[in-house]
Chain A
Amino acid sequence: VKEETGALMEELKRVNAENKKLTEMLSVVCENYNTLRGHLM
């Protein structure tokens, strides 16, 4: 059980890191999108 929990913890850490990275990427892309939209408007 402990091993399973440890594995889960590791997986959760990895997914959280990926989540954070995705959030940052989404923020950057949204910012660029808005900038581009501002240029077109």
Chain B
Amino acid sequence: YSSWLDSVDTSLDLNLHPLRFTGEAPVTKERNYLDHEKVSVKEETGALMEELKRVSAENKKLTEMLTVVCENYNTLRGHLVDQMNKNGEKEVFCSKKRKSESSNNNNMVGINGNSESSSTDEESYKKPKQETINKSSKTTRVQVKIGASDSNLVVKDGYQWRKYGQKVTRDNPCPRAYFKCSFAPTCPVKKKVQRSVEDQSILVATYEGEHNHPQSSLMEATSGTAAARCVGLTPAAPTTPLDSRKPKSPSEAKTTSSPRFQSPEMQQFLVEQMASSLTKDPNFTAALAAAISGKIFPH
């Protein structure tokens, strides 16, 4: 029994600092974890703060840029509006001017119905008071041979005309003159005269309408003009010698007797001119009177 007792270990084998070791280890780990977490959160917070600062700075910069660009945009827009207003005024002015020119041109060009952009002289701005041209009315065209140096756009055709406009057309460098019958507005006839593009020595006269009155050629004195030169009968007052207007060679004579001078209008015109010239010749009148009186009173 005593030996059994001896064999029994009665010592408690107590550790006097067991709690110290066993208790300290988890607390340190937790603290380390918490410390680490705290550090990481602080770092994250610091990063967030930095990012926030950066983004805020960028935001501020963007706001400033936006303000500047908006100011520039508004300034530029103001310039553009001013420019557009100026252009608008110019446009309105030009359109009014074009309209005015177009109106005048239409009045003048109404003879043939074609509209041509052209420069007009001062006279062309004077709008005719009455424009009663019927576009469906008769239109005739006459070509007259003139001297190359003759700058007059006058074609004598037995009627009196009043020039009311002149302009240069795009297709022809020579100016085109516009005439109204002197009996206007009761007579609606108008004519335009321009040198031919192909041959500068030819005047092209275009008539619109029909006269509602007799010719005035018998009443008016025919001075030296293109028509008279064409006919070669200018006893009244030729402005240039006849020699300069005569054809220089037979070939040119053939040229002047071209078919355009054989048109009915031209022939009638020639007859009228001859009659007009003869009636103005006192010798012819005296001879005619003598012949008539000799027929009536033979004895």
Is the Cβ of A40 less than 8 Å from the Cβ of B48? no
Binding site for A on B (CB under 8 A): 38, 41-42, 44-45, 48-49, 51-52, 55-56, 58-59, 62-63, 65-66, 69-70, 72-73, 76-77, 79-80, 83
Residues of chain B contacted by A25 (CB below 8 angstroms): 66
**A interface vs B, CB < 8 Å?**
1-2, 4-5, 8-9, 11-12, 15-16, 18-19, 22-23, 25-26, 29-30, 32-33, 36-37, 39-40
Give 11 new A-B contacts, CB below 8 A, not counting A19-B58, A25-B66, A33-B72: A2-B41, A8-B49, A12-B48, A15-B52, A15-B56, A16-B55, A19-B62, A22-B62, A29-B66, A33-B69, A40-B79
Is chain B's interface secondary structure helix, strand, loop, or mixed overall? helix
User: Beyond A8-B52, A15-B56, A37-B76, is A29–B69 a contact (Cβ under 8 Å)?
Assistant: yes
> Separation in Å of the B87 CB from the closest CB of chain A?
11
A18 to chain B, nearest CB (A): 6
Main secondary structure, interface of A, reads helix
**Cα A12 to Cα B83 with chains together (Å):** 45
> In whole Å, how far is A40's beta carbon from the nearest beta carbon of chain B?
6
Residues of A within 8 A of B80 (CB): 36, 39-40
Out of B48, B52, B56, B73, which one reaches A33, CB within 8 Å?
A: B73
Contact present for A4 and B51 (CB under 8 Å)? no
Contact A29 B70 (CB under 8 A): yes
Contact residues in A for B72 (Cβ distance below 8 Å) = 33
With both beta carbons as reference points, the residue of chain B lying nearest to A15 in the complex is identified as B55
Contacts of B62 in A (CB 8 A): 19, 22-23, 26
Give Cα A1 to B48, complex, Å. 12
> A30: nearest residue on chain B (CB-CB)?
B69
Complex Cα–Cα for A36 and B165 (A): 46
Asked whether, in the complex, the Cβ of B63 is within 8 Å of the Cβ of A8, the reply is no
